[in-house]
Amino acid sequence: MLSPDAARQRIVAAVEPVAGVETISTAEALGRIAAADARAPIDLPPFRSSAMDGYAVCAADIVAPAPIELTVVGQSAAGHPSSQRVAGQQALRIFTGAMMPAGADAVVLQEDVERIGGDAIVANERPRPGQHVRLRGHDVARGAIIVSRGDLLNAYALAWLTACGVAQVEVVRRVRVAVFATGDELADPGAALGPGQIYDSNRFALLRLMRDLPVAPRDMGRLPDDPDATRRALKDAARDADVIIGSGGVSVGDADFVKAAVEDIGTLDFWRIALKPGKPLAVGKVGGADFFGLPGNPVSTIVTFLLFVVPAILARAGGAPKEPLRVPAKLAQDISHTRGRREYQRGQVVAEDGGLVVVPTGDQGSNRLATFAGANCLIEVPAHRAGLAAGETVQVLMLSTDSGRLL
Ligand code: AMP
Ligand code: MG
């Protein structure tokens, strides 16, 4: 059986990024992946400006020791520059973000100045050249790369592009992801449950977890436990999907037809991982699509999606998936574990005594979505350990409580 780390590496290495590129409005580009480097078309800030409210002066001209009497000769406010030149014992009233006047090289803070009537002020300290002045291009110089090809465009990157006046960006086209669930026992939420039925939550969870990934999802609904229906659905999905995700039907039960169907019409790379939850995970190719058959238990579906499918989707989208963030935390209670497979338990990390403490969220059955209630991390239980003891330091993988995905 592959280790989870080896499986992840193998999956990401086997993925071919999609080729399509499109130019879209920066405002619409959240969560997309840059298809090309974007350079700053201007210096940012575009002019020398004041970092504070105060008085622009020519510090180089002020040689006398404090207190220094100065004459106010004009004003520069944000968006309203002054054409007045400043020299000698002159000062120009200036506000944060306003353009520095010609001749000025420093700003004296408003709170370090006394107005003594008329246009006269007294500065209590001698200004240093450069103080409280933002140089042109000090955030970024014109021509410098602000977004690199393969970067995920988050709100910060988009804000920076916008600050540089970049209204359009070149992004990789969305990855087309087909999602289906398998199982004769499944019913749709809203319908009454028949005997032996349960609601299909996996397809729902997968589609929601993908919501802010750069994907165009295709909901293929539920499939019965039937080999022909499974093959037909896979062929249909492979016609235009880049990634196909199925839930259920990948273990070795009599009703598990997904692996066989993939072997029939595509290729199966591997189907077992030394992981709990999530031992049966079928990974392969159907046509041009990467196929992931996730184990049906709801927690297993989610954990394997987070660990293996998200990086595959990001790699397919031309991005560079990162290793999940592992953070040390002190375990609040014992965890029992059988040696052999790495385990990820759901847990809640809290800040305590200047460090992090983590508590598992109750009985960790892989069917129990309750374990995600209040969870903000996955606790890593190493494969070789026969249990962990309260008080020891463990590694946790942080979850975003907004997107639900790993950080
Ligand atoms: P399977 O992997 O198909 O053997 O399913 C393992 C367990 O997960 C069984 O208890 C299934 O009933 C359950 N299961 C499978 N698919 C889903 C689904 N879409 N939503 C909720 N539970 C599921
Ligand atoms: Mg099943």
DSSP letters spanning 86-111: --TTEEEEE-TTPBPPTT--EEEEGG
What local confidence, expressed as pLDDT, does residue 253 receive?
83
Helix (H) or strand (E) holding 161: helix 155-163
What percent of the chain has pLDDT above 90? 96
User: Which ligand is in closest contact with the Cα of 250?
Assistant: 1
Taking the C-alpha atoms of residue 311 and residue 304, their distance in angstroms, rounded to an integer, is 11
Any ligand 1 atom below 6 A from CB of 251 = yes
Taking the C-alpha atoms of residue 65 and residue 150, their distance in angstroms, rounded to an integer, is 55
Domains of the chain: 4-20+174-316 (3.40.980.10), 22-44+141-172 (3.90.105.10), 49-134 (2.170.190.11), 326-398 (2.40.340.10)
Taking the C-alpha atoms of residue 105 and residue 127, their distance in angstroms, rounded to an integer, is 9
Ligand 2 center from residue 182 Cα (angstroms): 6
Which of 208, 281, 297, 301, when mutated, tests ligand 1's pocket best, judged by the most ligand atoms within 8 Å of its CB?
297
Ligand 2 center from residue 257 Cα (angstroms): 9
Taking the C-alpha atoms of residue 121 and residue 66, their distance in angstroms, rounded to an integer, is 12
User: Which ligand is in closest contact with the Cα of 185?
Assistant: 1
Any ligand 1 atom below 6 A from CB of 110 = no
Cα-based angle 277, 278, 282 (whole degrees, multiple of 5): 180
List Cβ neighbours of 303 (8 Å cut-off, separation of 6 or more).
275, 277, 278, 344, 378
Any ligand 1 atom below 6 A from CB of 183 = yes
Residue nearest to atom 20 of ligand 1 (CA): 200
pLDDT averaged per 10 residues, the chain (length 407):
95 96 98 98 98 98 95 98 98 98 98 95 96 97 98 97 98 98 96 97 98 96 97 98 97 87 95 92 97 97 98 97 95 97 98 95 95 97 97 97 92
Any ligand 1 atom below 6 A from CB of 297 = yes
Cα-based angle 148, 310, 4 (whole degrees, multiple of 5): 115
Ligand 2 center from residue 390 Cα (angstroms): 36
What local confidence, expressed as pLDDT, does residue 401 receive?
87
User: Which ligand is in closest contact with the Cα of 366?
Assistant: 1
Q: Which atom of ligand 1 is nearest to the CA of 200?
A: 20
Q: Which atom of ligand 1 is nearest to the CA of 280?
A: 2
What local confidence, expressed as pLDDT, does residue 12 receive?
97
- The Cα-based distances of 340 to 39, 158, 267, 377, 385 in angstroms read 49, 45, 27, 22, 8
Q: Torsion angle of alpha carbons 184, 309, 406, 176, nearest 10°?
A: -90
What local confidence, expressed as pLDDT, does residue 18 receive?
97
Which of 199, 202, 276, when mutated, tests ligand 1's pocket best, judged by the most ligand atoms within 8 Å of its CB?
202
